[in-house]
Amino acid sequence: MLTLLLAGCSLPRVVVLHDPLDAQEHNDLGVSYQANGEFDLALREYRRAAELNGDWAKPLINGGNSLAALEQWSQAAELYRSALQRQPEQTEAMNNLAWVLLQQGDLVQARQWAERAVENSPHTAAFIDTLAAVKARQEQTSPPR
């Protein structure tokens, strides 16, 4: 009887679950969530992918894209900058950072990043479009001569 009572008072077991997904799979899951407009879930998956592979910029770029879609410009810029710390020649991060800076009105930095993206990938239409948008905004805001 005493054994039965003692067995019932045992400490609970702690179960540690193993995450079966690797960084690529977490990133891909984030892309799926983002496509469905589930940005909070997408951001969680991108964050996990970035943690699992500290050299890979893509989940940070994707997270920045989710935040940009939500017009959370400062947070998006932060993720694009983090992506560029991981991979300094990542042209998608350069271009997307330029776009976010354009949205924030930081035209000088936006142009610098847009020009770098185009210099490194001169045939990418999206990068050329971003640079053109920055230049157009600069022309609109500059005083007449």
Residue 130 exposed, middle or buried by CB count within 10 Å (0-12, 13-18, 19+)? buried
- What's this model's pTM, rounded to 2 decimal places? 0.84
Indicate if 91-144 has the same CATH topology as 23-88.
Answer: yes
Q: Please provide the average confidence, as pLDDT, over all residues in the chain.
A: 92
Nearest-5° Cα angle at 19, 18 to 24: 150
Amino acid symbol at 6: L
Q: Is the pLDDT of residue 43 over 80?
A: yes
CATH annotation of 23-88: 1.25.40.10
| Percent of the chain residues past pLDDT 70, beyond the cut | 87
| Arithmetic mean of pLDDT, 106-122 | 99
Domain positions in the chain are: 23-88, 91-144
* DSSP class of 94: H
User: Which pair of tokens denotes residue 98?
Assistant: 């330029």
What class is the 91-144 domain? mainly alpha
Give the residue from 41, 70, 68 showing the smallest Cα distance to 49.
41
Model pLDDT for residues 30-39, shown as the tens digit of each residue: 999 999 999 9
